[in-house]
Amino acid sequence: MHPILSRAAAAVLLASGSLGAPAAMAAPPAEGSWGGWLSDKAAVLQDGAEKAIILGGALVYQNRHTIAGLTLGCAAGAAVGATSGVAAGLATGGAALPATGPAAALGCALGGVAGAQLGRPLDQPMP
């Protein structure tokens, strides 16, 4: 098996195991008790979703300044890149206008990295 496929399969197995679904719930019941089976599945999915929301919220809370810096840096960098692309397009009679999109993307990437680097020390003040 290809290494990427085996890693993906392992990730799927870990994700399904982390939801806490027992093996007995893997297949629908043969008899007509769909209501109980569906409510059990819904309860398992709700428990997994609640865990993911709590863990995701904790992760965002711990890195909120990094995320904010990345977002603002991306917006500022994209604005600078797009503005420079349009200015170059005006100066060249429109020949450089197709470079506006890549310039905005590069500005977003560079601004995002710079903003994240500025916000990271605020999230982790102690080295």
Distance in angstroms (rounded) separating the CA atoms of residues 58 and 63? 9
Question: 89: exposed, middle or buried (C-beta count within 10 Å: 0-12, 13-18, 19+)?
Answer: middle
Q: Is the pLDDT of residue 19 over 60?
A: no
pLDDT, average across residues 82-111: 93
- Average pLDDT of the chain, as a whole number: 80
Domain interval for residue 102: 81-122
Distance in angstroms (rounded) separating the CA atoms of residues 7 and 72? 34
Q: Could you tell me if residue 109 is inside a domain?
A: yes
Q: Could you tell me if residue 89 is inside a domain?
A: yes
Q: Could you tell me if residue 117 is inside a domain?
A: yes
Q: Could you tell me if residue 14 is inside a domain?
A: no
Q: Could you tell me if residue 58 is inside a domain?
A: no
pLDDT, average across residues 38-47: 81
Q: Could you tell me if residue 17 is inside a domain?
A: no
Inter-CA distances, 102 with 66, 88, 89, 108, 122, Å: 24, 13, 13, 10, 31
Q: Could you tell me if residue 13 is inside a domain?
A: no
Looking at residue 106, its pLDDT comes to 96
Instruction: Extract the tokens encoding 107.
Output: 């500005």
Q: Side chain identity at 96, as an amino acid letter?
A: A
Number of domains in the chain: 1
Name the pTM for this structure: 0.58
3-state secondary structure of 84: helix
Q: Could you tell me if residue 87 is inside a domain?
A: yes
Instruction: Extract the tokens encoding 96.
Output: 């450089």
